[in-house]
Structure 1
């Protein structure tokens, strides 16, 4: 894939892309060509290797808990470097099966002000957001271990510290004080995009129409450009390969229009619809096998920003689609990428997350099926059709027959905005309704393997669950998780359930 080739080239030329800031004064750095260079329209990803840091380097002020001592656990990092501009960072390593036990901290320099940020922690994921262990995506040989990404805004300087910590009791004690091999910092520039937003004619099944009011260039409530193309076909020939998963058996087939409902090639927005039209969505989702009477409880289809609307580069991901049989549950996540973004920047955040998942982490596409920003705008995630049962890589062990919804931000100690919580209720009322799921009830999913449930275990879960229900993790953050009980009730109410 071109994305991986670009990443490899970036690693090989890291020395040419980064210059120690100690060679330049702050004034010189602020006036440097890299600080003034425009954002690359297509975006970019650059990798810089993390090197051992000795006791003298550990004396850097402002790094909590890192005193100078020859007996310190292994510490790797990057001294202050000037780099080409970027907006999102994350740390990756070679083997996704190797867990990182340690504290990962970064600080960055703002392009706009020239000031350095405080040290910020990156969450260590250790596989929790990933494909299932036996999935073809996981066994591609390209998947890497990775931390959560962090949105830092337009930046041109970076410093990194990673200090090993003991493994939790009973978990791989031999790994204490050691860090994974091949660690590097990923610097992601989302690039810029200016798509023309058109409103899809929902009355025509979402296939082909202009804004009913004759307007073009329409924007969402936050002023951000509209939604993305549900067609996974960068060549525009509508002949992309499709992988279906009956159970976990893979079958190759050629795509047809039935596999890409609700948005024509090039559409940037899927408009909100009423309940009657959402019943028709259920028939599309099942390739015509349902009757309208069999799906009476479906919430109105929400307005969805498509992949083209947020500017996804379709050449990065694998071309085909992967489907499972149905959608039995929705797992709610937070991206753990921080809350320091404006809603108008959400498309850029998504482009960065997409590049981090595909180019840096080695996944076939962005992991989440949908994303929601803090203003309540809904975005299409993994390609394959918003009404379809697309296999994601969001809750390791429980990606089959589920969908993942990520609220952009970190909601461990920050309360999620009401608009975002409401959007999750609206989205689940529609999508779960297509598959005849009551958001208030429980369902049974079979574990594909993880750190909480052994492979093959049948687990009863809420139809709307948090990531932590299927994997031992903090995600979706304590305060967002606490909003799930009322969200289940709101979602069921939107479906019209008594």
Structure 2
């Protein structure tokens, strides 16, 4: 040996140990202050039952986001591990001197009980089919064994009040395959609870706001919806640093450094990837967008894009085989699967009240403010869409003298601190306001008519504005399509009669002093007299008009003019009723996306042309098939 070899010796290591109580079934991890752990950090866990300690199990260090994607509430940490029948849990972190993370905290999540636990299949079922008595999730589409059945978040008992992440849309160019690195010996019955534990750990302890993976697959071949926002959308998750916005993440529950991946899980992963690729119009051929924009294979493991062993020594070598199986499943997909218009998701409920609540859940994981309006008239709420977006609020619909149960449930989830009620007692009764006071302080925004109410909404939202939108208060269509455009530009929208500028709206224009006023709709909606009155009120402002031959053409014109470079998301709503689009404008505003109006059974030609130009990755439809039939997504009229 030379001198270097005899004097160097082993590298010095520093350790820190954190410990805490266990439970019958808990999900365990360690979090710390730094989002990125130091190089070379290791973590290992053991548990004690009675007097007996288990052997040590390695915990993987997670690195789900880049510095650009991180925010101040995020913490670094390990992947979570399910631990059963433990009285005490101990985790030791080890690293070179000076590299240990600060503020290490042992997190022990008890997933508790949920009604969902009794409603899931308890054994392996044929692929694409459910077991007897299984819950039928929103994505239970197993018409062929090439199309996966994916159980919804409700099916594993997601507590949506924990979710603080607002869905964002990226692009699906590939998939990153993971394993959870958790225990391998879990039962089928334990899976919903384990997922709830992972959810709580990811969302709260690490500050990600939701589950990190888009889809989770268990050892029994069942697939579960992870990240909220729609399985047919290109929802950005938190699963692989640098590629979250260009890939979706699928993770199998288990540690496949220890054992081979179960065949049922392997095949389900291939099914989900094949279907997901088809939804987004890609195959395994070609390349995905990887870290720093570099090309990579369509199907990769987490270790291909990060410093990790994931998805395990047994799983990673089979990714080539997995890719071939994806190709096989894509060939078997049914012909009527929409492969050309991007992902399509439907946001709806049993009625307009339930649809508004579903839209709120889709777009607002949390909200301090909520707007409440009647579900039987549109006038008071036409101006509310842009204001709701500015204040980070959904719009919920109520009956004049009653609050539907779906709205009660949504208010309980949101726990707002402020509620605005639109319109006077003739629209929303005082008894409803009294009920709402149990949730938060309530303020009415109202006037003697719809035009004064519109002005009151503007005063609540804006102290100044460079642009103002005007729509007819005598019909809903132009105001709803224009509301999404106004929201995208941070501008207010007011309603006025078709033949004059009301005193209340004129006063708002004088108060705000905008440089531009946009009239929505043709002369039949707002005539030349309105344009002239606006110009006289604001001599220095530019007055423009966005209009088409009818409401569908006007909505398409608004979308094309406001989003000339396209939009990753586009929303569709029926043009024959107001309710679904009324509550949908805030969701469109959050996504900075257009609202197009469609006929119930077919898409107007101009709307179809503009939709093609927008080239959205995902199309979201407001309302059920009673409002917008499936044929409207395919048939042009």
What TM-score, normalized to structure 2? Answer: 0.46
In structure 1, what is the Cα distance between the partners aligned to 2:37 and 2:181?
A: 21
- 5 Å matches for 1:155-194? 155-164=86-95, 166=96, 176=97, 178-194=99-115
Contact 2:278/2:330, CA 8 A, preserved across alignment = yes
Aligned partner of residue 91 in structure 2, secondary structure: strand
Question: How many Å apart are 1:75 and its aligned residue?
Answer: 2.6
Q: Distance in 2 between matches of 1:107 and 1:364?
A: 28
Question: Where in structure 2 are there 5+ consecutive unaligned residues?
Answer: 1-10, 130-134, 334-637
Greater Cα shift, 148-157 or 363-372: 148-157
Tell me the distance in 2 between the aligned counterparts of 1:372 and 1:488: 17
Q: Give TM-score, length-normalised by structure 1.
A: 0.58
Q: Of the candidates 425, 428, 442, which is equivalent to residue 273 of structure 2?
A: 428
> What is the alpha-carbon distance in structure 2 between the residues aligned to residue 83 and residue 466 of structure 1?
32
Unmatched segments (≥5 aa) in structure 1:
1-70, 167-175, 198-216, 228-265, 276-298, 448-455
Distance 2:200 2:208 in 1: 10
Change in CA separation of 1:356 and 1:444 when aligned onto 2, cut-off 3 Å: same
3-state secondary structure, aligned to 2:314: helix
8 Å Cα contact 1:269-1:303 kept in structure 2: no
Q: Aligned partners of 2:120 and 2:182: how far apart in 1?
A: 28
- Higher CA-based Rg: 2
SS at match of 2:269: helix
Aligned length: 316
Q: Match of 1:346?
A: 191
Matched, 1:271 2:140: yes
The equivalent residue for 2:76 is 145
| Aligned pairs (5 A) from 1:109-258 | 109-110=48-49, 114=50, 116-127=52-63, 130-135=64-69, 138-139=70-71, 141-164=72-95, 166=96, 176=97, 178-195=99-116, 219=121, 221-222=123-124
RMSD: 2.9
| Structure 1 residue 75 corresponds to structure 2 residue 6 | no
Whether 2:35 is the aligned partner of 1:104: answer no
Match of 1:12? none
SS at match of 2:272: helix
1:301 alignment counterpart: 147
Q: Answer yes or no: is the 8 Å Cα contact 1:99–1:145 preserved in 2.
A: no
Q: CA separation of 1:161/1:469 partners in 2, compared to 1, >3 Å: closer, same or farther?
A: closer
- Aligned residue for 1:379, secondary structure, equals strand
Question: Per the alignment, do residues 467 and 161 of structure 1 end up closer, same or farther by CA in structure 2, a change over 3 Å counting?
Answer: closer
Distance in 1 of aligned mates of 2:255 and 2:222:
17
Q: What SS class does the counterpart of residue 131 from structure 1 fall into? A: coil
Q: Whose RCO is larger (CA < 8 A, sep 6+)?
A: 1
Which moved further from structure 2: 115-124 or 186-195? 115-124
| Alignment partner of 1:495 is 2:330 | yes
Give the conservation status (yes or no) of the 8 Å contact 1:330–1:404. Answer: yes
State how far apart, in whole Å, the 2-side matches of 1:190 and 1:381 are: 16
Give the conservation status (yes or no) of the 8 Å contact 1:106–1:158.
yes
Q: Within the alignment, does 1:314 sit opposite 2:127 as a pair?
A: no
Alpha-carbon distance in 2 for matches of 1:100, 1:143: 19
Conserved 8 A contact 1:87-1:188: yes
